[in-house]
Chain A
Amino acid sequence: MLCEKCHERPATVHYTEIVNGHKAITHLCEVCAGQVQTGEFGFIPQINLPKILASLLSQSPSKQSFVTQTRQETSCPKCGTTESLFTQKGLLGCGDCYRHFEERLGPLMRRIHGSSSHAGKVPERTGGRAKVIKQIKEMKENLKQAVAREEFEQAAQLRDEIRELEQRLSGGENNEH
Chain B
Amino acid sequence: MSIKETINSAKSGWMAGGGPEGDILLSSRVRVARNLKGYAFPHLLELEKAEQVIYAVQLALENQVLKDQANELEITRMSELSPLERQILVEKHLISPNLLTEYQKKALALRDDEVISIMINEEDHLRIQCLLPGLQLEKAWTLVNQIDDALEHTLDYAFSEDFGYLTACPTNVGTGMRASVMLHLPGLVMVDQVGAVLATISKLGFTVRGLYGEGTEALGNLFQLSNQVTLGHSEEEIINSLNSVTRQILTQERQARKALLHQRKDQLEDKVGRSYGLLKYAHMISSEEAMRRLSDVRLGVELQLITGPTSEQLTELMVMTRSSYLMHQREGKLNSMQLDVLRARTISTKLNQGG
Contacts and interface: CB of A to CB of B under 8 A. Distances in A.
Contacts, number: 140
B164 A120 contact: yes
A119 B174 CA distance: 8
A40 B231 CA distance: 30
Contacts of A125: 152-153
Contacts of B340: none
B215 A46 contact: yes
Contact of A113 (B208, B217, B229): B229
Contact of B232 (A90, A93, A119, A126): A119
B198 A113 contact: no
Nearest to A79: B40
A114 B205 CA distance: 10
Contact of B169 (A91, A116, A124): A91
Interface string B29-45: 00000010111110110
Nearest to A57: B170
Contacts of B166: 92, 95, 98
Interface of B: 35, 37-41, 43-44, 123, 145, 148-149, 152-153, 156-166, 168-171, 173-175, 177, 189, 192, 194-195, 198-199, 208-210, 214-215, 217-218, 229-235, 237
A43 B164 contact: no
Nearest to B232: A115
User: Which of B123, B162, B194, B233 has the most C-beta atoms of chain A within 10 angstroms of its own C-beta?
Assistant: B162
B192 A117 contact: no
* A: interface residue count bin: 35 or more
Given A15-B192, A49-B169, A125-B152, A93 B44 contact: yes
B145 to A, nearest CB: 7
A88 to B, nearest CB: 11
B157 A91 contact: no
Interface of A: 15, 37-38, 40-41, 43-44, 46, 49, 53, 78-79, 81, 89-95, 98-99, 102, 105, 108-109, 112-127, 129-130, 133
10 contacts: A37-B192, A37-B195, A91-B43, A92-B41, A95-B37, A119-B174, A119-B232, A126-B159, A127-B159, A130-B160
B171 A40 contact: no
Contact of A99 (B35, B153, B160): B160
Given A46-B215, A91-B169, A37 B189 contact: yes
B175 A109 contact: no
A91 B192 contact: no
Contacts of B39: 94
Counting from the closest, the 9 A-B pairs by CB-CB distance are: A115-B232, A118-B164, A95-B158, A113-B231, A120-B175, A130-B161, A94-B40, A95-B166, A41-B195
Contact of B233 (A37, A44, A120, A122): A120
A98 B160 contact: yes
Nearest to B205: A114
B220 to A, nearest CB: 12
A100 B158 CA distance: 14
Given A37-B189, A43-B218, A91 B123 contact: yes
B157 A113 contact: no
A5 to B, nearest CB: 16
A112 B161 contact: no
Given A91-B168, A121-B165, 6 more contacts: A92-B41, A117-B163, A118-B232, A119-B174, A120-B233, A127-B159
A13 B149 CA distance: 52
A108 B171 CA distance: 10
B164 to A, nearest CB: 3
A109 B163 contact: yes
Contacts of A90: 169
B41 A91 contact: yes
Contact of B152 (A44, A81, A99, A126): A126
Nearest to A118: B164
Contacts of A94: 39-41, 44, 158
Given A112-B171, A113-B231, A118-B164, A93 B40 contact: yes
